[in-house]
Amino acid sequence: MTILRIETSVNREHSVTRKLTDRIISTLDDANVVTRDIATNPLPLIDSSWASARVKPEDERSALDKEALALSDALVAEVQAADTIVIGAPIYNFTIPASLKAWIDLIARVGVTFRYTENGPEGLLQNKRVIVAFASGGTGLDSAADFASGYLRFMLGFLGLTDVTFVAADQLAMDAEGTIARANAQIDALRQAA
């Protein structure tokens, strides 16, 4: 089994999501783990060169087009090769970190990770499991102030990733010990379900 681990927290040793992703991965036995730490090694934002290159047929792309898409191609290949994707998603200002949005922008590719059909869009990244380690200071998972989890569920589903589980250490500022204990119990339940 191959696990793709996406880390987005700018906190290193004090990151709750990094601790949760460590624990989640420890429950997934005998796995090859590929880590993409996009907080430590930030991704570029999409630009006009990328946007122009992605709509050209592959056999018509210039060397500059291929260069513009090289990182995006590598990120898509990592997702395609993964059986399970573990995403650390701390909440920054009520939504996902900009680094995670940049990753999504780079992997959302028409004709590659989704396509349009006569019945509407169809995600092409199917039969994969996603586990999101969600942490926040005051925002409750699925609360009116949570603009992260709904967006992630929608975008992942749009790409065909519909088996999504959230492990939530939310509202840490109110009850850090209790919410971490509940998150760890959720991880233990994942282990039992595996």
Q: How far apart are CA 131 and CA 152, in angstroms?
A: 11
Q: What's the total number of domains in the chain?
A: 1
Run of H or E residues at 97: none
| Distance (Å, whole) CA 65 – CA 69 | 6
For residue 21, the 8-state DSSP code is: H
- Beta-strand (E) ranges in the chain? 2-7, 32-37, 84-90, 114-117, 120-123, 129-135, 163-169
pLDDT tens-digit series, residues 113-150: 999 999 999 999 999 999 999 999 999 999 999 999 99
Domain range for 61: 2-193
Spatial separation of the C-alpha atoms in residues 8 and 88, rounded to whole Å = 6
Q: Is 99 annotated as a binding residue?
A: no
Find, among 167, 94, 148, 134, the residue nearest to 9 by Cα: 134
Distance CA 38, CA 45 (A): 12
What is the reported pLDDT for 30? 76
Q: What is the CATH number of the domain that holds 19?
A: 3.40.50.360
Tokens 């109110």 sit at which residue?
A: 174
* Average of per-residue pLDDT across 3-19: 95
Tens digits of per-residue pLDDT, 34-80? 999 999 999 999 999 999 999 999 999 999 999 999 999 999 999 99
What tokens does 62 get?
A: 């210039």
pLDDT at position 191 is 79
- When pLDDT is averaged across residues 153-172 and rounded to a whole number, the result is 98
pLDDT at 25 over 80: yes
